[in-house]
A = this chain, B = another copy of it.
Amino acid sequence: MAEREAERSVSQTVRAQLALRELIVSGGLRPGERISELQAVEVTGVSRTPVRMALVRLEEEGLLEAIPSGGFMVKAFSERDILDSIELRGTLEGLAARFAAERGVSSRDLEPLKQCLDEIDGLVRREPISMEAFSSYVALNARFHVLLAELSRSPPLIRQIDRASALPFASPSGFVMAQSALPEARQILLIGQDHHRVVVDAIENREGARAEAIMREHARLAARNLRLALRNRTHLDLLPAMALISAG
């Protein structure tokens, strides 16, 4: 009931957007599949007007693609698109790290980042890593990335990073990941954690170029891991693979 109250406080448009995004990311609609407004109305329970607004926003977000003759379809990403997007995000985050280092952040600003990393350490050090721990990790990792972006103190850059992270494989959807993938996921987590510590250190010491280089290398490594994962498994369940790489 309280939940219902909370839902009522946000606009129908936002509710529709969240519901539709959830539907798309969870794989309820296949890439390339058309999403009709009527269908969206049934799913979300709101009228066509807010649904249309939500669809436009999801298109701008990159999850949907406008069909020339009208309407929208779920955007399909090639493997190359995904790998490029990861490198793209890494490049932007590298710029953010450089900005943070060059603009001179106080050690007080870095405190939240370090705390975030410590919390992650508490999760990934123990073995084997549980499904719940992995979920927590994904959330914490996302928080770290947000904090790093904000450290740049550059609204345009933060905005662009947000957009680059809006794609499914950059969203905290780790819960889709298969149990069997957990062990190797943990390896990636540990390496990523190391990278993050180096970045914080570089920023603290005002080494802009080094901070930037690390973030870019970090993304390239993540892309490489994803490519390997895609080679080993079938191409079928791309979404879990995307969730996996979101840990990077």
Q: Does the CB pair B164–A160 fall under 8 Å? A: yes
- Check if A80 sits within 8 Å of B163, measured CB to CB: no
Q: How many copies does the complex hold?
A: 2
List B contacts of A80 (CB < 8 A): 154
Q: Which of B56, B91, B163 contacts A56 (CB 8 A)?
A: B56
Footprint of B on A, CB under 8 Å? 49, 52-53, 56-57, 60, 62, 80-81, 84-85, 87-88, 91-92, 95, 99, 154-157, 159-160, 163-164, 167
Bound-state Cα–Cα, A91 to B81, Å: 19
Residue numbers in B under 8 Å from A53 (CB-CB)? 52-53, 56
Q: How far is the CA of A159 from the CA of B62 in the complex (A)?
A: 9
Listed by A's residue number, 17 A-B pairs whose Cβ atoms lie within 8 Å are A49-B49, A52-B53, A53-B53, A53-B56, A56-B56, A56-B57, A56-B60, A81-B154, A87-B95, A88-B156, A88-B157, A88-B160, A91-B91, A91-B92, A91-B95, A92-B92, A163-B163
Q: Shortest 8 CB-CB distances between A and B: which pairs?
A: A60-B60, A84-B154, A85-B156, A84-B156, A91-B95, A56-B56, A81-B156, A88-B157
Nearest-neighbour CB distance to chain B for A80, whole angstroms, equals 7
Minimum distance in angstroms from A96 CB to a CB of chain B: 10
5 more CB-based (< 8 A) A-B contacts, given A53-B56, A85-B156 = A56-B56, A80-B154, A81-B155, A84-B99, A160-B164
- A161–B29 CA distance with the chains assembled, in angstroms: 28
Interface centre among A84, A92, A154 (most CB of B within 10 A): A84
- Cα A62 to Cα B160 with chains together (Å): 10
Q: How far, in whole Å, are A99 and B154 apart by their CA atoms in the complex?
A: 26
- Which of chain B's residues has its CB closest to A81's CB? B156
Q: Considering the chains assembled together, what is the distance between the CA atoms of A164 and B154 in angstroms? A: 14
A198 to B163 Cα, complex, angstroms: 31
